[in-house]
Amino acid sequence: MNFKNNLSLFKIAIINFLKKLQKDALLLSAQGLTFNTLLTLVPLLGLVVSISKIFIPQQKFVEQIFINIAQYLTPEATKKVMDTILDLVKKLETFPLGKFSLIAYFIMGSGLLFQIEEILNRIFESSKRRNFMQRLIFFWICITVIPFLLFMPIYSYFYLGKFFNFFILLILTLIFFLMYIYFPAKDVSKKDALIGALFSTILWALSSYLYSFYVKYAIGYSKIYGSLSAIPLFLIWLFANWLVFLLGAELVVFLEQKCWKRISIDPSYPYLRLYILYLLGKNFIEGKPCNIFEFSEYLNLSPILLESILQDLEKEGFIAVRDEEVFFVKPLQNINIAKIVALNKFQELLKLPEGENFTQKISILTKNFSEITLEDLIKS
């Protein structure tokens, strides 16, 4: 019986996971990210080439690029891409990267980073958003660091030898982990983010192998498009990479929610908000700190569901969430219960037939209730 229950819970969890994949429209998101990556690619490539000239000879840099590209493209497409890169390298020798290229990189890069942040906020179900200054500082750091992260594998190839492939996977895991932790505007479990990053890295390695096999043996793009086959092949490769990244993010959310062992509750249920504030208020009176993840374990609720409710309560001015800890922003005796369960919001009903008569009757019935505070509820 126990096994059957566990199997049933597992099936429900998998169904919920698949429904969330459909709801988040991963394919559409991956397409959008692919397009924005193309816009950022030229100034980014120019920066990587400029940085590489400082540390390694140009010839070795070009050779390493050729080795990496040849794994994923047909010979005709490889030749086309290498001609483009060599042309870019020659132009950079004559006309070094100027301020307009850097401005273009910053604008295009900011657009891509903004899109990544919005998509991850949707996947992680975060209603919170960074303000303009927070975004500007965060994007500036990312835009500064990214060219060096992309250059590191090329530079390390000459020193790591047979350990190069392992190093690539390590760097990828680190990049995925940092993106899952810092891009969503909310606190993410580091353990779950690391598992998601490892999953994405393994999936990336597998998809890269299958893609290279697909390009070399299973299709005739080179026969159809000739040297232009580089374009559709490169787009497919970019799309596959973004899809892997988003699937990893979905896994992080799945692990945080723990659907297979969590109590299923409708988050729109009004008294759930009151119940959570009631428990938080008790902890506050008893002088106990409230950590989101510990609180979710105690309630046996998903931390993502809990945090989405806490974010709504924070927007309404009841609490504040800082570094995974929850604090009250006003005294408990000033928090009206009717406002928590939205019993005082009748404005929209006034527009409906007999709405005014209905709201008057509700107001009379809930008059005493509207005077009760959170402190009264806790101490009763």
Which residue among 235, 257, 279 closes a domain? 257
The position carrying tokens 């299958």 is 210
pLDDT number for residue 1: 45
Write the single-letter amino acid at 171. I
Does 92 or 168 have the greater pLDDT score? 168
Q: Are residues 365 and 300 in the same domain?
A: yes
CATH of the domain at 287: 1.10.10.10
Q: Are residues 97 and 245 in the same domain?
A: yes
Domain membership flag for residue 265: no
Tokens of 372: 């009760």
Which among 350, 327, 346, 330 has a CA at the least distance from the CA of 338?
346
Q: Are residues 235 and 140 in the same domain?
A: yes
Identify the three-state secondary structure at position 188.
Answer: coil
Q: Are residues 46 and 184 in the same domain?
A: yes
* Total number of domains in the chain: 2
Cβ–Cβ under 8 Å, residues 248 and 199: yes
pLDDT in tens, 92-111: 555 555 667 667 777 878 88
Q: Are residues 116 and 200 in the same domain?
A: yes
pLDDT in tens, 223-234: 666 656 667 777
pLDDT in tens, 37-56: 888 877 776 666 666 666 66
Can you tell me the mean pLDDT for 347-364? 61
Write the single-letter amino acid at 372. I
- Least confident window among 179-183, 254-258, 318-322: 254-258
Does 348 or 208 have the greater pLDDT score? 208
Domain membership flag for residue 263: no
Residue 21 has pLDDT above 80, yes or no: yes
The domain of 319 spans: 270-379
Which residue among 257, 280, 313 closes a domain? 257
pLDDT number for residue 171: 86
Phi, then psi, of 325 in degrees rounded to 5? -110, 145
Q: Are residues 32 and 161 in the same domain?
A: yes
Full-model pTM = 0.66
Q: Are residues 29 and 81 in the same domain?
A: yes
Q: What is the DSSP string of 54-92?
A: HHS-HHHHHHHHHHHHHTTS-HHHHHHHHHHHHHHHHHH
Can you tell me the mean pLDDT for 9-20? 73
Rounded to an integer, what distance in angstroms lies between the CA atom of residue 356 and that of residue 279?
Answer: 35
